Structures are given as structure tokens and as C-alpha cells.
Structure 1
Amino acid sequence: MSACTTCGACCASFRVDFSVHETQSEGGSVPDGLWVPVTDSIARMRGTDHGQPRCAALSGRIGERATCGIYEWRPNPCREFEEGSDACGQARRRHGLSPLSASFGG
């Protein structure tokens, strides 16, 4: 099992901006209603621009059982995020979780 199916820290740590062309209304797959416009060309996942970000598509409890409700339709920044990367470690620390190398042997 991937650490990502129980973690969710990245979904509650960073702002997620992406091209409006990835939105449903522009022919992409990110469901309308889960993003907000930033500019004419940039969209943002709803909830990720708060002081304590939490993506509107995230379900569950961080560090225990967290899942993305739109995993198949998530935007590129989410697709490109790497499990075990420095950013992953930063997000996990923000939520009091141990690094993946210690807990998952990664």
C-alpha cells in the first residue's frame, strides 16, 4: 500500500495552481466547483489558498486514512507530486508525521 493512501499531508500543505485548460468547463478533467479562478489562465484548487490549506477534494483524516475524491481527474501539480520527495517530507513534518524513510522504508 502506498503511503499516499493514508497520508494526505500534501493536500493540506500547499497551494495548488494549474492551467484553466485542465478544468471541466475548458475541456479538462478537474471538476467544476472544486476550483476557483485566479487569473484568465490560472485556476486553483478550492481550499488550498487558506492560511491552513486543505484541498476541497481531500477526504478523511491526515496521517490515518486520507484520499483524493478526484484522483483520476486531479490537476498536473498533484500528478507531478512525488511520494518521498523533499516537498513530501516538508508536508509530513507540518502535520507531525515522520518521514517516509522511517515509517515506510522508502
Structure 2
Amino acid sequence: MSAFADNPCTRCGACCASFRVDFSRQELLSEGGTVPDGLTVEVTDSTCRMRGTDHARPRCAALQGKVGERAGCGIYEWRPSPCREFSLRSPLGIGDDACARARARQGLPPLTAA
């Protein structure tokens, strides 16, 4: 539990307020997946998007808290594949180029290795 508490992602949320999140409809709860349908919008017959991530100033509907201070995913255990993959792109799942871009968009400095 302390590793999760120490993870900067549990207080950042910049990625959830920076990028569009599209994924297969098969990930929806109604289709046998885990992502709650009410937090998504249909894009095509086979694709949906997390609600709020296609706005000019994106903010995922599942994001809770204040970006940069204490923010987290309200559906972390049920989040879609792009969110799961985002955290796997670098060691510890944080601090890669996409993370740095997201943090910069929110006026936050990049994360550095401890």
C-alpha cells in the first residue's frame, strides 16, 4: 500500500486531464468488459471514448481530485486499456515523455527519478 501512496500518479492526474482516451467497445461493462458505460461516449460502432477527454481542455469523467495536488482515477481497477498502457511505458509507470507533456500542459514540472 505504501508503494501506491508514494506513487506521484496518486496525486498528479495530469495525464487524465491532457489526452483523449479511445478504446474498443468490448471493454464496456455492457459488452463483458469492466469500464462503466455511463462514463463513456460512442465514437464509432466499435470504439468509444472516456467522457470529457475530447473537450478542448480534456478532463476524464473518472478523474477525482485536483490535478497536481491529489488526484486519482475513480475507476482505477476498471480503467480502459489506454490508461493501463500509459502507466506501463516507463519504469515505475511514471516520468516518460508523454507524462512530461501532460504535466507541462498543467503547469507542472516533469517528474525526476528519486
Cα RMSD after superposing both structures: 0.8
Structure 1 residue aligned with 2:85 = 80
Partners of 2:21 and 2:37 lie apart in 1 by: 15
Partners of 2:22 and 2:96 lie apart in 1 by: 19
Equivalent positions of 1:45-60 (< 5 A) are 45-60=50-65
Structure 2 residue aligned with 1:30 = 35
TM-score (norm 1): 0.95
Structure 1: stretches of 5+ with no match in the other structure: none
**Stretches (4+) displaced over 3 A:** none
**More off after superposition, 49-58 vs 78-87:** 78-87
Determine helix, strand or coil for the equivalent of 1:33: helix
Structure 1 residue aligned with 2:107 = 96
Partners of 1:53 and 1:99 lie apart in 2 by: 19
Structure 2 residue aligned with 1:12 = 17
Structure 2: stretches of 5+ with no match in the other structure: 1-5, 88-93
